[in-house]
Structure 1
Amino acid sequence: MFNDSPILGAWEAPDWADTPQCPPSVGGATFLIVAYSVVIAIGLLGNAGLVFIIARQQELRNVTNILIANLSCSDILMCVVCLPVTVIYTLMDRWVLGEALCKVTPFVQCMSVTVSIFSLVLIALERHQLILHPTGWSPAAGHSYLAVGLTWLVACFISLPFLSFNILTNDPFQNISLPANPFRDHLICMELWPSDKHRLAYTTSLLIFQYCLPLMLVFLCYLRIFLRLRRRRDMLERSRRTRGAQRINVMLLAIVVAFALCWLPLNVFNTLFDWHHQALPDCQHDAVFSACHLTAMASTCINPVVYGFLNSNFQRELRTTLQRCQCGNRAGESYESFPLSTVGSEGVTKATSLNRMGSVCIPSPRLEISSAALTKTLPANS
């Protein structure tokens, strides 16, 4: 379901010579370059900063934050490999980047999206376990590293067909009936499947198991979490911990909703192309694809924006980190932890609950939860 080329519709068209040529306008090309450049800059800098801070602070290495960092790593990979290649291919309307990138680019995009959606599922499952079953089994940091490794292995396996069936060819340009064919030496990167049935089976499976089913599972988890926290709020009458847990889950759910909305247009576009590509207008095909693909790539900016730059604690920690780089190491800060996973639960001692992975770190003089806090808020300056 991850077509990286705006001329994909022409790859399988038997009447290539009759297809109208629609070169991109100067304004459209300029907009694409600027828009993709902004997405790449925000995605790279934001996600790299988020991963750096989580990796640097020992107090932040809980299950949810490790999975958030994994989500950021997949977005970084997307920004480095897929976005620049897509811009070049879109603007040049032919492939000039070699056979290796022809195979690797769609493979990396599929793998990155798979890792992202699986990370969101794991975060939702962890929150579901900690809030609905606070006295039961809870995942540890070691479990999250194992889950991250398995996620990448499964994503690689799911994406392997792109390595096998993506080829570099000039065949579509050979039959153009022109006195001097200027496109004869042009190459395109295309999928060449044994049959249309194989292609449709694979792309439809991706749509179901890589987008629809995971998002349904995530939304079901957060629905049950919301219902449980609402009952606890009724019992505890606006408990501070309950309000903090609700804010954390709202932030995590916002990441999921934004991810789903960003990828929805491209999934609709690809589904329409797979099943009825004649419905796509010829000269508007490039523009529609670029708009859908750009919207999908904007998902790489969601994590740092929602998790980080709307979180005042993240901003303070980022400033502190930059100051440490200039002035050397300063004395570490002290933290107190209390669990959001056991909010309002009966019969759970503080000593038991402090070992759980849903805790929030708070600078020691005062116990506050930032409105943008996540599973473990980032430390504020003393």
Structure 2
Amino acid sequence: MPNSSGGLLGVWEAADWADTSQCPPSVGGATFLIVAYSAVIAVGLLGNAGLVFIIARQQELRNVTNILIANLSCSDILMCVVCLPVTVIYTLMDRWVLGEALCKVTPFVQCMSVTVSIFSLVLIALERHQLILHPTGWSPATGHSYLAVALTWLVACFISLPFLSFNILTNDPFQNISLPANPFRDHLICMELWPSDRHRLAYTTSLLIFQYCLPLLLVLLCYLRIFLRLRRRRDMLERSRRTRGAQRINAMLLAIVVAFALCWLPLNVFNTLFDWHHQALPDCQHDAVFSACHLTAMASTCINPVVYGFLNSNFQRELRITLQRCQCGTRPGESYESFPLSTVGSEGVTKAMSLNRMGSVCVPSPRTETSSSKLTKALPANV
């Protein structure tokens, strides 16, 4: 339920503004917000951009799971570029100075980005479920993943449309503040103006259910069934090379899901409490509480590159190879030894690449010369 910082102001009364006018901002708190949001933006942008660049650059990495992970990173990049800078400016200034267009676009982009992220996690879990529980059945191809990505963005855009319609720029809440000299009379805020509270509650509650609770429940169910299936496999050879590799990959993907769920939990709880009983929030601490919850949610943009990239030795090797190529130029005739992440490979590639069904790792062979008659050595696909 990703309300923007403007959504925080959507149901406030004039009396609320009179109370908060007696709460001066903290210099230390403002400094912490600037440093914390800047760190999240830097890690989120650089990490996700690097992840997308490597997946897009390396042909052997373009497979279903990696394409969906790149899609997850693209949604995080959009969040870092649009939502985080706007939120920190609005929170620190306590009024809107960025114009009506950003007032409408920022919550729309945030809702769309979160929707794309959670749908990508669901698709990754469903793909892993299909490959491990039904290894001889239908398997999605890379073309299917591109179609899924396009549909994900279209559905996310449709779900987020109400923010474009009901977010407005106004100074109405400041007009009725009973102060001898009202310093806020000309201040503008970005707030949600719904036809009624019933419409607003119906929409925000639906977001909570269909954008957070149900998708995460489905993902956890998929990984639970995967875990139970892998635990039942008793063949030692299979466990040593395929099952253990699949367990490691699934654990990494599940860690991304769990971290995403934990990051967004505080903000969802805050928004639910604010929507249904905002009087329960303390007058002078509501900004601090919201900022803490929102910052925790925005930290989810760093999950993908940290868990998938920096904790994945395969990705680290690929990153080092890419950096070496940038420094020294392209090295002719490199051969690769690949440890697959999935069993779905790219179409229209060489036989060696088709063996690399889910190549997350490409490690240069110590041999510098290659022969066209020899295939690149590839470890067997996981499951």
TM range (shorter): 0.7 to 0.9
**Deviation (angstroms), 1:326:** 2.3
**Deviation (angstroms), 1:316:** 2.6
Deviation per residue, 1:46-74 (Å, 9 max, x gap): 00000000000000001000000000000
Task: Please provide the CA RMSD for this pair.
Answer: 5.7
C-alpha distance in 1, partners of 2:132/2:111? 32
Indicate how the Cα distance of structure 1 residues 325 and 272 shifts in structure 2: closer, same or farther if over 3 A, else same.
same
Mind listing any 5+ residue stretches in structure 1 that lack a counterpart?
none
C-alpha distance in 1, partners of 2:373/2:177? 58
Tell me the number of residue pairs that the alignment of Structure 1 and Structure 2 aligns.
380
TM-score by length of 1: 0.88
Q: Is residue 171–residue 185 contact of structure 2 (8 Å, CA) maintained in 1? A: yes
Q: Is residue 339–residue 360 contact of structure 2 (8 Å, CA) maintained in 1? A: yes
Indicate how the Cα distance of structure 1 residues 370 and 254 shifts in structure 2: closer, same or farther if over 3 A, else same.
farther
Q: Is residue 345–residue 356 contact of structure 2 (8 Å, CA) maintained in 1? A: no
Q: Is residue 334–residue 369 contact of structure 2 (8 Å, CA) maintained in 1? A: no
Indicate how the Cα distance of structure 1 residues 303 and 214 shifts in structure 2: closer, same or farther if over 3 A, else same.
same
Indicate how the Cα distance of structure 1 residues 60 and 367 shifts in structure 2: closer, same or farther if over 3 A, else same.
farther
Indicate how the Cα distance of structure 1 residues 153 and 147 shifts in structure 2: closer, same or farther if over 3 A, else same.
same
Which residue does 1:260 correspond to in 2? 261
Q: Is residue 230–residue 243 contact of structure 2 (8 Å, CA) maintained in 1? A: yes
**Deviation (angstroms), 1:22:** 1.7
Indicate how the Cα distance of structure 1 residues 346 and 326 shifts in structure 2: closer, same or farther if over 3 A, else same.
closer
Deviation per residue, 1:117-138 (Å, 9 max, x gap): 0000000000000111111110
Deviation per residue, 1:291-334 (Å, 9 max, x gap): 00000000000000000011223223222222222221112532
Indicate how the Cα distance of structure 1 residues 80 and 341 shifts in structure 2: closer, same or farther if over 3 A, else same.
closer
Q: Is residue 48–residue 72 contact of structure 1 (8 Å, CA) maintained in 2? A: yes
Q: Could you say what secondary structure the match of 2:39 adopts? A: helix
Deviation per residue, 1:247-297 (Å, 9 max, x gap): 000000000000000000000000001111111111110110000000000
Indicate how the Cα distance of structure 1 residues 364 and 241 shifts in structure 2: closer, same or farther if over 3 A, else same.
farther
Which residue does 1:110 correspond to in 2? 111
Deviation per residue, 1:339-377 (Å, 9 max, x gap): 676799999999999486688766667999999999999
Indicate how the Cα distance of structure 1 residues 7 and 115 shifts in structure 2: closer, same or farther if over 3 A, else same.
closer
**Deviation (angstroms), 1:28:** 0.3
Indicate how the Cα distance of structure 1 residues 299 and 342 shifts in structure 2: closer, same or farther if over 3 A, else same.
closer
Q: Is residue 49–residue 73 contact of structure 2 (8 Å, CA) maintained in 1? A: yes
Counterparts of 1:132-147 in structure 2, within 5 Å, are 132-147=133-148
Indicate how the Cα distance of structure 1 residues 223 and 379 shifts in structure 2: closer, same or farther if over 3 A, else same.
closer
Indicate how the Cα distance of structure 1 residues 352 and 291 shifts in structure 2: closer, same or farther if over 3 A, else same.
closer
C-alpha distance in 2, partners of 1:219/1:213? 10
Indicate how the Cα distance of structure 1 residues 92 and 343 shifts in structure 2: closer, same or farther if over 3 A, else same.
closer
Q: Is residue 48–residue 73 contact of structure 2 (8 Å, CA) maintained in 1? A: yes
Q: Is residue 313–residue 380 contact of structure 1 (8 Å, CA) maintained in 2? A: no
**Deviation (angstroms), 1:239:** 2.0
Q: Is residue 117–residue 211 contact of structure 1 (8 Å, CA) maintained in 2? A: yes
Indicate how the Cα distance of structure 1 residues 252 and 18 shifts in structure 2: closer, same or farther if over 3 A, else same.
closer
Indicate how the Cα distance of structure 1 residues 184 and 372 shifts in structure 2: closer, same or farther if over 3 A, else same.
farther
Q: Is residue 63–residue 144 contact of structure 1 (8 Å, CA) maintained in 2? A: yes
**Deviation (angstroms), 1:91:** 0.3
Deviation per residue, 1:218-261 (Å, 9 max, x gap): 00000011111111146657422211110000000000000000
**Deviation (angstroms), 1:178:** 2.9
| Segment drifting more, 275-284 vs 42-51 | 275-284
Q: Is residue 117–residue 214 contact of structure 1 (8 Å, CA) maintained in 2? A: yes
Indicate how the Cα distance of structure 1 residues 141 and 103 shifts in structure 2: closer, same or farther if over 3 A, else same.
same
Q: Is residue 263–residue 295 contact of structure 1 (8 Å, CA) maintained in 2? A: yes
C-alpha distance in 2, partners of 1:349/1:232? 32
C-alpha distance in 2, partners of 1:247/1:369? 32
**Deviation (angstroms), 1:197:** 0.4
Mind listing any 5+ residue stretches in structure 2 that lack a counterpart?
none
| Segment drifting more, 361-370 vs 153-162 | 361-370
Q: Is residue 121–residue 217 contact of structure 1 (8 Å, CA) maintained in 2? A: yes
C-alpha distance in 2, partners of 1:118/1:222? 15
| Segment drifting more, 150-159 vs 18-27 | 18-27
Indicate how the Cα distance of structure 1 residues 193 and 307 shifts in structure 2: closer, same or farther if over 3 A, else same.
same
Indicate how the Cα distance of structure 1 residues 235 and 370 shifts in structure 2: closer, same or farther if over 3 A, else same.
farther
